[in-house]
A and B are shown apart, each in its own frame.
Chain A
Amino acid sequence: MAIPALTLVALVLLWEGAVRVFGIPNYLLPAPTRVLAELDKLGVRLVPNIGATLLTVLAGFLASVVISLPLAVAIASSPFVARAVYPLLLITQSTPIIAIAPILVVMLGTGQLSRATITFLIAFFPLLVSMVTGLLSTPREAVELSRVLRTSFLQDLWLIRLPASVPFVFSGLKVAISLSVIGAVVAEFVTANKGLGYLITQSTAFFNVPLAFGSVILLSIMGVLLFQSIVLVERIFFPWAVQSERITRE
């Protein structure tokens, strides 16, 4: 923990020093102190912007979870559904979502719904794939056990397949939360009147590069904190899954 912190501090100092020594102009590379000063200038007015982005991230992320889970169960349980749905999903994934984003805004309006939908479209696919993989990679012996015990479909799912897939689900959730942050920024680039993504487009339009830098830093911090909270949830509620991930890695 101490070593990465030291590297970070060293890099920031180097950055500050280089900007001052070489007299780099603000609109090319602002010094860290200048970035902080710009954020400080906005002060509490940052809060609604951070809140707006966080709301979009969480809405898109939750939609991914809520839609992926039943879809993953359906795909993993029925070869027919898998064959019917997978090619369509692949097409939606091969299409750059950022290209559809303006169309979505026309269809869904300029509000929160559009932003959440764009975020969802960017975040859900890797999560779905991890969930399907997890459900299909139940150990062969556990499948046999389930059959010998004559479990019903729901018992098999609830007692055996879902718990067995938890490590996969969490690696999918970690990817999905990072993608949700990206998705939210993309959405705000396309349509927003507040948010950190909106701050970036607005500030760069007026060559206020220090504020753009500040927004990016806030986004990184948000991303790290969200990622870590997923890690924390896994540690607290599914300690055995963390354990089994470690075992499989060894």
Chain B
Amino acid sequence: MSEAAATPALSLEGVWQAFASADGAEVLALRDLSLAVAPGEFVSLVGPSGCGKSTALRLVTGLIEPTRGCAAILGRPVEANLDRVGMVFQKPTLLHWLSIEDNVLLPVRVRRGRVGEADRTRARALLESTGLGQFASKLPHELSGGMQQRAGICRALIQDPDILLMDEPFGALDALTREQMCFELLRIWGERRKTIVFVTHSIPEAVLLSDRVVVMSARPGRIESIVPVPLPRPRTLESMALPDFQACTQAIRRIIYGYDTERAVVGAAL
């Protein structure tokens, strides 16, 4: 397979992660996690709360070191390739004293100490492409939640990273905005072909967006199964009506709940 031959965009190999809990006992957050994500691939991590989805993501940002095993970005240790990674948080996490444009430019300011006119042009183009063009000079609180999160995505994209890590980025948004943001993200991904690792609680969201869905289970966090999504691209609202979409979401639910949900519903009706 060509995927296996090329260097994966990011990989976790035999990662174990243990934390000391508040009372001093050791808690195993991840057990023997191995995952390789190919360049340009869109992979989602789903699973119940506490299954270590966010922990896995934080390993790739270098915020935490694996207890055992290793994490790599483009075949090199995480620390060496950090500037190839952009991160989108659950909350927009915009600095409320900076304009939207300056928020987007924050990674540039940190990396190079100053912001040039070329950077500003790039930031404005990014904002323009996500429909925030006329809000560049506004302060974050003047924007809606969805617009703030779009600005957060622009900030992650400003350094043109190869990999975009998204930690439940639409979790704080209302259902309608959330759906719009999914298609917005698919459009951005279609244009720029980043490798995306997307953590979510929503199974339909994971299926709609991803090439593969990694299903995790909790205590300790481990990969239960990896479900490929055969839906054709580009994906649209109609994709959700396809039989394959239903089949995928059902398959994932079955893995998470450990039994056939259809039968469970029928059973309840009887």
> Complex Cα distance A238/B98, Å?
11
Chain A contacts for B151, CB-based, 8 A: none
Chain B contacts for A151, CB-based, 8 A: 110
Chain A contacts for B109, CB-based, 8 A: 159
Chain A contacts for B141, CB-based, 8 A: 243-244, 247
> Complex Cα distance A238/B82, Å?
34
> Complex Cα distance A160/B96, Å?
10
Report yes or no: A142 in contact with B93, Cβ–Cβ below 8 A.
yes
The reply to whether the CB of B183 lies closer than 8 angstroms to some CB of chain A is no
Q: How far is the CB of B119 from chain A (nearest CB, A)?
A: 15
Report yes or no: B61 in contact with A148, Cβ–Cβ below 8 A.
yes
One digit per residue, 1 when the CB lies within 8 angstroms of any chain A CB and 0 when it does not, for chain B 90-133 equals 01010111000000001101110000000000000000000000
Q: How far is the CB of A47 from chain B (nearest CB, A)?
A: 41
Report yes or no: B93 in contact with A144, Cβ–Cβ below 8 A.
yes
> Complex Cα distance A151/B89, Å?
17
The reply to whether the CB of B63 lies closer than 8 angstroms to some CB of chain A is yes
The reply to whether the CB of A123 lies closer than 8 angstroms to some CB of chain B is no
Chain B contacts for A163, CB-based, 8 A: 95, 97
Chain B contacts for A149, CB-based, 8 A: 106-107, 110-111
Chain B contacts for A139, CB-based, 8 A: 93
Hey, which bits of chain A sit against chain B, CB under 8 A?
139, 141-142, 144-145, 147-151, 155, 159-160, 163-164, 166, 238, 240-241, 243-244, 247
For this complex, 16 residue pairs linking A to B, each with C-beta atoms less than 8 Å apart, are A139-B93, A142-B95, A144-B63, A144-B89, A145-B89, A145-B93, A147-B63, A149-B107, A149-B110, A159-B95, A240-B96, A240-B97, A241-B97, A243-B141, A244-B96, A244-B97
What are the 4 closest A-B residue pairs judged by CB atoms, nearest first? Answer: A141-B93, A240-B97, A149-B110, A163-B97
- Seed contacts A238-B97, A240-B96; 14 additional CB < 8 Å A-B pairs: A139-B93, A141-B89, A141-B91, A144-B63, A145-B89, A149-B110, A150-B82, A150-B110, A163-B95, A164-B95, A240-B139, A241-B97, A244-B97, A244-B141
